[in-house]
Structure formats: C-alpha cells, structure tokens
A and B are shown apart, each in its own frame.
Chain A
C-alpha cells in the first residue's frame, strides 16, 4: 500500500477582492519528497503556502496537509509541520536560548540536540540577543527552531531570501539533515534555482496563479530546448511553432526556446534553411527564466544601430 501524500491541493482558487491570485491549482506532494515551488514574485506561491497552513481561507477548492483539511489543522497536526516563513521572524528581545525555550514549550517532540546542532552550525551563542543577529544568523536560528521539533513536513517559504552564499549553503545543509530521516517531506519556495537544483526531487512552477509545470527537475530541463540557428543573411522571422516560448533575432542568428519540442517542431525549424542548427544545453536557471519570462519575439540588429 502506498503512503498517502503529504500535501494534496485540489482546484484551489484564491481571490483578493476581485483579483484572482491562484487559479484552479491542483498539486500533490508525495510523502518523502523534496518539492521546489517556483515562480516569479506575486505569482501566488506564498498565498498557496499560507492557505496550506490555514492562515488564509481558499475562495474555492480545498487543500489537505498530512491528511487533514488545511483550514482546520489540529494542534497535533501542526506539531508535525515545520514552517519557516520568509521574513525569518524572531522575537528580538529574546536571547537565542530563550527563543529555543519558548518554542520548546509548545512542542512535545522537541529535540534539543538538533536545536543546538543547528545553532552551532550557524555559530550562534545561546546568550546572543535575537535582535542583534545578522540576517544569516537569524535565518539559522529560525531554521533551528523549525527543525528541532523534528517535523514530518517542512514548509519553507523562500528560506534563502537575502542570505549570502555561505549562509545559503549552511541553510541547505541543515535542510538536507531533515531528509536523512525516512518519510520526511519538504516543500519550499525559492528564486534560487541552483539551490533548487541541488536538493529538489520535483518542482512545481506557478505562473499567473496557474501551475504550468509539475515535474522532476530533470524532466523540466529536458523538456526545454534552446536552439541557435545561424544564417548567412538576416534570419527570417520565426514561424508560429507549438511550444515556442521566446525567440531572439540578431544579424545572423535566430535563437529559439521551446517547451515540449517534438520532432515535428525540429523539422519545421529545418525548413527555415539555416546554415547550422545548434541545440544548446540549458541550466535550470536558464530554463526557468525562459519558461516564466516574457514571451514572444525580440530582435537586436547592428545595422539598425549603424543606421542611426
């Protein structure tokens, strides 16, 4: 018998006023997976996470988290979910130790060793005032507070936002610690694709409140193709091809990025009679930018510059 999913979202829609933020979103996060939740700013990632944790109510649809309706999460279920909001909020007047003690009083399964390990990893002293910590240290403290209850599900909302590379790396290492335990699930939103690439099993890409991709990282990268077509003369305008995300024309080159490019599309490209067609490997970041970036044709011709 398969394990029930950690998160199930069905046809979730959220309006703020008459503005639709999330539209008919369905997503399943399997137990034990690390799920990257990607999308540009304002695309509905944080709203979805807030609905998942019961801080906001969906306009339509429903979400279940660890088998429970997200709008009525019991304290017992909350104890099984670790949540790290993007602001890395701590009570500035508490010391690091007091922060731990305060948080520990709510969680029956508080693991002091984990807490101490994480704060040591971030070089935090128990007597330090939380209000005096650097951004990275604060993120570390928040992560320690989130990990020490040993949650079954970790929901991280852009955890690396504003952190320097070292702090980001520390955060990732600590995050990976959780996944060493069996059946631990992580859902995290981020803009840092390199981090996502490093840890995520699957990603969901949210664009305009709609899920546009829900796949493994590898699939995402494979399904996005970038071709550089070289021409002796000025390249022709790109034809309307299925899956074309963007094109870029220069004096002798035409670059096209496709999602789900089929052999038929490649044949249609060949019909343009370029001197050469070069498929280019894309990093996840390039793929993501092309995927959620501005679509359509862009041009840059030097003769136009000379003409001026």
Chain B
C-alpha cells in the first residue's frame, strides 16, 4: 500500500502543484477584486465575497475532477491497467492507495490555496474589514464539496459503460453542490457533502473490482452505486431546472401585495408571473392620478420599515432569529455605512461576538471597538451587547442602541454616547428607520416602538411626534412607520402580530393610519386580506424540479409533519402553507406525480421483462420507478443491468447472450461447426512433451 501511495504521489504531484498555483492565484485575485461602489459589501466581504466563493466553488470542483481523472484515465489503457492490477494485492488496496494519495494531492491542490487565502485575510493590514474566523465556513464547504467531485471523477473513470452512466457520479456531486449552496446552515451543507463523499468513495471502491457490471461488485459498493445513480438522476433534474430557468420555462407565482403610496393611501399591486400588471385602490379601481398607474406607481410607494413584529409577550412568543445563509457575509459581519468626516471610517458589527469594530478603510487597520460598556481601544475584549438590544444605524456616523429600558444615540465619529429620555413607558419593542424625500436628499427619522405609542425621533435625538396606537396592538403588533415628504404627516401601518399562526394571519385585515405630529388620525384605512398567491408553475418546470417522484413529494410532507410535531416553527409554517392556501395545488401535483410514476413503473416493468431480467429485478426496478418517478426510470435506463440479446438459432426469439439455454425454447447454443481442417491432437503428458521437444 505504501508503495502504491508513493507511486501515485510521484506520478501526480506536479499536477497537484500546478493546480495549487492556479487556484491559489485565482483565489487571491478574487479576494483583491475592487469593492468600488459596494461600500456596504452587498457582494460579500473577503472570504464570503461572491467572486471568491465562485472561485472556490468551481475551482475546488475542477481540481477534484482533474485529479480524479488524472489518477485513473492515463492508466486505463488496457496494458497499463492490466499491469497495475496484475499484482498480488487486493484490488481494493489499489483503490485505497489511489484514494489516499488523491486525498493528499487534493489537500495540496485545493487545501493549500484555501489555507493561504484564510491566512492572507486574517493578517492585519490586508483588508479593510475585520477577520471573523467563522467566515471560512463557505470556503471550507466548497473545499469539502470539491473532494466529492474528486471521488466522483475516480468513480466515473473506473466505471465502464455508456457516457451518461459514467457521468452519473459527477451529476450526483453536482446535485450535492446545488443542495449545499442553497442551505442556510453550514452544518447541513457539510453533512450532505460528507455523506456523498462516503457514498462515492464506496462506489469507487466497488468499481475497481468490476467496472463492467455492477452486480459483480461487493454488495456495499452496489448499494452505494445505486445511491450515486439516484442522486445523479437528481443532478439531471437540477440541470433541467437550470436550463428551464434559462429558457424561461420556470414561471413565477402570481400574487398581489399592497403598499402605501406617497400620499398615505394604500394601493394593491397585482402581479402575474412576477410582472406588475396593475395597481388599484382597495376597491379594485385604478387610480385617476397618472403617477399611480401601472409600473410608475413603484416610484411613488412610501418607504416604510417595521419597528416591531409584536407588542407584549403574553403569548410567550419567541421570534426565530434571522439566520442568513452561511455563504453570506451577513451571517458573520454587518457593515455599517462608512462616513468621511472627520476622516474615512467604517464600523462593522460582529454578529457572534455582538460588538462593533471600527476600521480605517484606507489604512486597513482597526482603530476602535464598541461594546455594551462603550468605546474601547482596538483589540480590547469588550462586553457584547445583550440579545434584547436593538442596534440600528441611522445614517453616517449615528448608531441607535435601543435596550428594553433605555435609548442611546451614539456618534461614532465623535465616540460619544447620549442616553435619551423616553417619552413613553418602557419597554422598547424595536426601532425602525424612516425618511422623507426632500428634492435629491432625504431627511432621516427613527421610530421607536413602545407598548402604547410609536415615538418618532429626528437624528438630533428630539422627539418630533408621539403616535399613540389606535388599534389592538396585541393582535396587530407588527407596526411599520413611514414619513410623508411634507414631514408633518406620519403613516403607521398595523399588520397581524407574528405570534398569530400563518393560516389565521392571512385572513386578517391590516390598518393604515395617517397621523399628524400630535398623534391625531387624519385618515384611516382598513386593508382587507388579499387573495392568496397562486402558484402558476408550468408542469415542465414542476416535473424538472421534482424529478425525484412521489417518494420525495410525500417524504418531504412527512418530514415536515414530523418536524412540526417536534416543534419546528419553520416546518410547521411550510406544512401549513402546503396544506393550507396551496392545498388544491398540492393535491393536483400529488395526483399528477403519482399518475406519472405509475405510468413510468409500467414502462419499466415491461422494459425489464423484455430485457429478460430475473423476476426479482423486474419487480425491484418497477418499485424504484414507482417511488422515484422519472429519476427511477433514468437510473434503470443508465444503471440497470440489461443483458444483451441475440436471435436464438433454434426458435428465432431474442435470447440472452450470457445464458446457456434459451429462455424461450430451452435450446443450448449450437456447437462450433465441425470442419475437416481442424487439427485437434489429444493432450499428452507434459513429461512426454518435454521429451519430444
């Protein structure tokens, strides 16, 4: 084994080093791509930057594929492969020798560049953002995913058969990549990638025993290969979905939503396939004013933000924290808007440590930190802000810190913290940013939600209005604030509280009050619940999205039901949506999926019968098609053993070439035709042969 590993390393180290240099260069280049026009890092910071993650995602996959192929393909030439395998070692050892060496090579090719990138980012003075160790997660996920591609390439190279069959492992790895990139949680992405690595590795180990036929491989490898084939078929579905999206086949849902216009009146925006088609008032009539007609209405919608999602805690509602995807910088670091007076500075909120770090963008160094106890020198360990404190940057250097019982305005540039008097009894439930447009500039305000009223502050800390709640905030506790451009009118919107279940919430009305600075209601609107959104996905896109078939469709439903029973709010909401407003759609889709799967199962049954498979295999493949629909059919088509047949010389029917007797007439194969020219001499003993020679 040691010799095999040595040979593999010696043979491929050059490739690994070349890949390391290429990938390392690309990653560092991606890290240093200019961030101009993106001061708040919408496209991500350092190790979470879109360009960097694109490089790691594709680069690690490419490195894995190249190494996997390079380790096997050049050796697959008949004689070279035979020379390798004809050694007194188990073929499994040959595979593990390759795999272990490949692991080392992959670490060099993809691991070293990633490690270097991390080190480069972590070194002070290289980037104008703080280094948060957790930001390595997406890169690490891509690195692990790329390792999956390595084993996929090994398997694809070792696998005999048609091109599509060989491509299945790569498609399976692709499916896992799609899955991992879509996940919120790093843990889930890594678990999926590691599981696929194990499965691909076992399938590859089996393939070295018998590349030609799956059934001659060890049972564990056969099982692994079936899993690979299945996820490969899902990968085909992913590709179909992407192609469908590119070709415009994937339609968007049709839905209505409402917004407050810049005169304070609510308006319903109606979309079809995500395209705004009309804007009406609450009675369904179009507006007379041309500026509110059609697409132009978007420009005249009032900017409103949520101050709080619920008032009071009598329902013991705990709001689920916002968890951005692990691939987003936002999960680790939030960039405040930079300001340039008296010098260019930018503050970053470290999400896990719950404190701020101030950076000098030009010098790329840290200059201060801000924690619950105030400002401190860079590098100082500060007390984190408690969980119940709301932090909100108003504009430029102003930061609002709203604790349940106190409100502080912080001047970041002056390093000053001012505690403001509260105009209403605490606790504070949240803060919202609001603004009025005055020509080309905007004037900013802060709305602070108390238990009985919404206080509006200007940026100097003066209360400009106290707006008492006019509705039952226990049930309508999601409160929004907007400021009309005249600056003397405020719009307060009341939506159903978050603690109310979704099914009830969608049937409840909302309210909009236009108020003056004294809190008098000038105009009040009641907004009836809108029609439920209608999913108008086309069947082609739907089938592409759910190529997995009924097993996945009903399995997902079961998973949600179990998850909801175990207390997951997310799964409960998803299930409620699936069985609530979308029930008709769910039923329609379910019945179509089952019908299609039944049809495909019949096709597979007759196909397998025609291929003269044994009865067990016929029923097994039929069950696979029934459970997994199109994916099952694809797996059978690509991976199912379908013995070749020729016409039987005796009965003329097709018969398997690997069976001794015809399945139809029972005849054996005819003997070779006798020929007077054959020279068959009875075998003599070797001793006699030796004597003769």
Residues of A that sit less than 8 Å from B by CB: 2-3, 13, 15, 17-18, 23-24, 28, 30-34, 50, 53, 55-57, 59-60, 71, 75-76, 78-79, 81, 83, 85-89, 91, 93-94, 102-103, 105-108, 201-202, 205, 210-216, 218-220, 223-224, 242-243, 245, 259-260, 291
State whether A105 and B676 are in contact (beta carbons under 8 Å apart), knowing that A18-B646, A30-B686, A32-B690 are contacts in the complex: no
B289 within 8 A of A: no
Is there an interface contact between B658 and A259, defined as CB atoms closer than 8 Å?
no
| Interface-lining segment among B84-92, B195-203, B475-483 | B84-92
- Other than the known A17-B644, A32-B686, A53-B86, what 9 A-B pairs have Cβ atoms closer than 8 Å? A30-B685, A33-B686, A55-B82, A75-B90, A78-B88, A105-B3, A106-B3, A201-B689, A213-B679
Give A108's nearest chain B residue, CB to CB: B88
Is there an interface contact between B681 and A50, defined as CB atoms closer than 8 Å?
no
Is there an interface contact between B88 and A216, defined as CB atoms closer than 8 Å?
no
Is there an interface contact between B669 and A57, defined as CB atoms closer than 8 Å?
no
Is there an interface contact between A214 and B677, defined as CB atoms closer than 8 Å?
no
| Interface-lining segment among B210-218, B262-270, B334-342, B517-525 | B210-218
Q: Which residues of A lie under 8 Å from residue B295 when comparing CB positions?
A: none
Please tell me which one of the listed residues A34, A85, A211, A224 contacts residue B79 in the complex, with CB atoms under 8 A apart: A85
B80 within 8 A of A: yes
Which 4 residue pairs are nearest across A and B when measured between Cβ atoms?
A215-B681, A87-B79, A79-B88, A32-B686
Q: Which residues of B lie under 8 Å from residue A108 when comparing CB positions?
A: 88
Is there an interface contact between A30 and B671, defined as CB atoms closer than 8 Å?
no
Q: Which residues of B lie under 8 Å from residue A88 when comparing CB positions?
A: 79
Please tell me which one of the listed residues B89, B658, B675, B681 contacts residue A219 in the complex, with CB atoms under 8 A apart: B681
Please tell me which one of the listed residues B658, B672, B685 contacts residue A210 in the complex, with CB atoms under 8 A apart: B672
B441 within 8 A of A: no
Most chain-A Cβ atoms within 10 A of its Cβ — which of B2, B79, B210, B671?
A: B79
B323 within 8 A of A: no
Is there an interface contact between B689 and A216, defined as CB atoms closer than 8 Å?
yes
10 contacting pairs across A/B (C-beta < 8 A): A13-B669, A15-B657, A60-B660, A75-B87, A205-B679, A212-B675, A214-B679, A215-B681, A216-B689, A259-B678
Is there an interface contact between B672 and A24, defined as CB atoms closer than 8 Å?
yes
How far, in whole Å, are A88 and B685 apart by their CA atoms in the complex?
32
How far, in whole Å, are A37 and B675 apart by their CA atoms in the complex?
20
State whether A243 and B88 are in contact (beta carbons under 8 Å apart), knowing that A93-B10, A210-B672 are contacts in the complex: no
Is there an interface contact between A3 and B676, defined as CB atoms closer than 8 Å?
no
How far, in whole Å, are A91 and B690 apart by their CA atoms in the complex?
37
How far, in whole Å, are A45 and B80 apart by their CA atoms in the complex?
18
Is there an interface contact between B683 and A78, defined as CB atoms closer than 8 Å?
no
Minimal beta-carbon separation of B661 from chain A (angstroms): 11
Please tell me which one of the listed residues B83, B90, B677, B692 contacts residue A243 in the complex, with CB atoms under 8 A apart: B677
Is there an interface contact between B212 and A3, defined as CB atoms closer than 8 Å?
no
How far, in whole Å, are A267 and B85 apart by their CA atoms in the complex?
56
Is there an interface contact between B679 and A91, defined as CB atoms closer than 8 Å?
no
Q: Which residues of B lie under 8 Å from residue A53 when comparing CB positions?
A: 82, 86
B343 within 8 A of A: no
Is there an interface contact between B693 and A24, defined as CB atoms closer than 8 Å?
no
Is there an interface contact between B676 and A57, defined as CB atoms closer than 8 Å?
no
Please tell me which one of the listed residues B11, B82, B212, B680 contacts residue A213 in the complex, with CB atoms under 8 A apart: B680
How far, in whole Å, are A42 and B6 apart by their CA atoms in the complex?
37
Give A78's nearest chain B residue, CB to CB: B88
Most chain-A Cβ atoms within 10 A of its Cβ — which of B11, B88, B644, B646?
A: B88
How far, in whole Å, are A219 and B680 apart by their CA atoms in the complex?
9
Q: Which residues of A lie under 8 Å from residue B79 when comparing CB positions?
A: 85-89
Minimal beta-carbon separation of B391 from chain A (angstroms): 61
Please tell me which one of the listed residues B80, B669, B678 contacts residue A87 in the complex, with CB atoms under 8 A apart: B80
How far, in whole Å, are A83 and B81 apart by their CA atoms in the complex?
12
Please tell me which one of the listed residues A18, A93, A202 contacts residue B689 in the complex, with CB atoms under 8 A apart: A202
Give A209's nearest chain B residue, CB to CB: B672
Q: Which residues of A lie under 8 Å from residue B680 when comparing CB positions?
A: 211, 213-215
Q: Which residues of B lie under 8 Å from residue A93 when comparing CB positions?
A: 10-11
Minimal beta-carbon separation of B570 from chain A (angstroms): 51
Is there an interface contact between A201 and B677, defined as CB atoms closer than 8 Å?
no
Is there an interface contact between B88 and A107, defined as CB atoms closer than 8 Å?
yes
Is there an interface contact between B7 and A24, defined as CB atoms closer than 8 Å?
no
Q: Which residues of A lie under 8 Å from residue B646 when comparing CB positions?
A: 18
Minimal beta-carbon separation of B671 from chain A (angstroms): 7
Q: Which residues of B lie under 8 Å from residue A56 when comparing CB positions?
A: 212
Which residues of B in the span 81-105 have a Cβ within 8 Å of any Cβ on A?
81-83, 85-90
How far, in whole Å, are A88 and B80 apart by their CA atoms in the complex?
9
B77 within 8 A of A: yes
Give B85's nearest chain A residue, CB to CB: A55
Q: Which residues of A lie under 8 Å from residue B658 when comparing CB positions?
A: 59-60
Minimal beta-carbon separation of B138 from chain A (angstroms): 38
Q: Which residues of B lie under 8 Å from residue A107 when comparing CB positions?
A: 87-88
Minimal beta-carbon separation of B344 from chain A (angstroms): 56
Is there an interface contact between A245 and B677, defined as CB atoms closer than 8 Å?
yes
How far, in whole Å, are A105 and B3 apart by their CA atoms in the complex?
7
